Structure 1
Amino acid sequence: MIGKTALLDAIAGTNRGLLASEKQKQAILAAIATLEDLNPTPLPVEASSLLDGNWRLIYTTSKALLNLDRLPFFKLGQIYQYIRVENTSVYNIAEIYGLPYLEGLVSVAAKFEPLSGRRVQVKFNRSIIGWQRLLGYNSPENFIQEIEAGSKFTAIDTAINSDRQQGWLDITYLDKDLRIGRGNEGSLFVLSKV
């Protein structure tokens, strides 16, 4: 699909948006709008088999995520989002790299509730921030299994009041390996299936 190739080409080299110039941001926004018009899945929230799975963030305008790269001596690594449709769970994991043996991790667990065929309400319920070594982190999959098993971690592992920490997300494009979302704070998210 030409629209998809144009978007991926526009995103290439921007390091998830961290390095995007204003001109690149405009080109990406235009490519996203074009692709959204071609969305092959009109009701993405109802397309469980496409939505469910492991996703990697390839572009965002989210200041909250991009600001993780501004920590002194640290750089933002990969950002993953794992969606488990069966139990309406979402796990966000951001890997942080810097000094040897001091690789970090920022993770948030949430529940989602479909509000329409395109929109989900997301209620955040747990935050885990710590050093990858102390967490025993070796992959997002294993880490999520530990969370689902109810493990407590040697980290800042806190419950979040989901009544106060929530938002919504419109899924504006979904196919077998690409997803675009627009959040309630105006942020864009482009993810590829892992």
Structure 2
Amino acid sequence: MARKLEVVSPTKEPLKSDLLNGKWELVYTTSQSILQTQRPKFLRSRRNFQAINVDTLRAQNMESWPFFNQVTANLTPLNSKKVAVQFDVFKIGGLIPIKAPGRARGELEITYLDEELRVSRGDKGNLFILTMVDPSYRVPT
């Protein structure tokens, strides 16, 4: 189903679109590290969010209960759909900042974008499907 959506994406250059700005909720992923399948179920994050600011090229990933972990990142456009992601600060429990190692990086391609839905693919082959929850949210600087 994701592939069918990607073919008809109404936003041809998502990195130039204000539709990308805001806080998105992850509703589906194939990423085992995000699904946390190695953890007991009661220790897995209940909800995950990602915020993006196109104008500042910043991103933030956030986990909900039980740990409220966060990570912020700088984005470098590789083309009009794809960014290099360099994570910079992890926050344990949303409070304790830890500088991210230089190897904490990846790439993300936005393959579908409209006002309510975003489909992205990571450089490790993972699929991410997100829905918009707050278009006014800004990544803290």
TM-score per shorter chain, which class? 0.7 to 0.9
Q: Which position in structure 2 is the counterpart of 1:39?
A: 9
Q: Going by fraction, where is strand more abundant, 1 or 2?
A: 2
Pairing 1:162-173 to 2, within 5 Å after superposition:
163-173=102-112
Asked if 1 retains the 8 angstrom alpha-carbon contact of 2:27 and 2:130, the reply is yes
User: Match of 1:87, SS?
Assistant: coil
Q: Going by fraction, where is helix more abundant, 1 or 2?
A: 1
Q: Which position in structure 1 is the counterpart of 2:100?
A: 160
With over 3 angstroms needed to count, the CA separation of the structure-2 counterparts of 1:50 and 1:69, relative to structure 1, is farther
Structure 1 segments of 4+ aligned residues over 4 angstroms from their partners = none
Aligned residue type for 1:67: Q
Q: Which position in structure 2 is the counterpart of 1:122?
A: 85
Pairing 1:93-132 to 2, within 5 Å after superposition:
93-96=62-65, 103-130=66-93
Distance (whole Å) between structure 2 residues aligned to residue 69 and residue 90 of structure 1: 26
TM norm structure 2: 0.87
1:116 deviates by: 0.2
1:73 deviates by: 3.8
Task: Give CA deviations for 1:9-33 in whole Å, capped at 9, x if unaligned.
Answer: xxxxxxxxxxxxxxxxxxxxxx101
Pairing 1:85-96 to 2, within 5 Å after superposition:
85-96=54-65
Structure 2 unaligned runs (5+)? 134-141
User: Which has the larger Rg?
Assistant: 1
Distance (whole Å) between structure 2 residues aligned to residue 193 and residue 66 of structure 1: 20
1:72 deviates by: 6.3
Task: Give CA deviations for 1:142-183 in whole Å, capped at 9, x if unaligned.
Answer: xxxxxxxxxxx3x3x20013x321111111000111000000
Q: Percent identity?
A: 35
Distance (whole Å) between structure 1 residues aligned to residue 42 and residue 107 of structure 2: 33
Given the alignment of the two structures, is residue 177 of structure 1 paired with residue 92 of structure 2, yes or no?
no
Asked if 1 retains the 8 angstrom alpha-carbon contact of 2:81 and 2:109, the reply is yes
What number of residue pairs does the alignment pair up?
Answer: 133
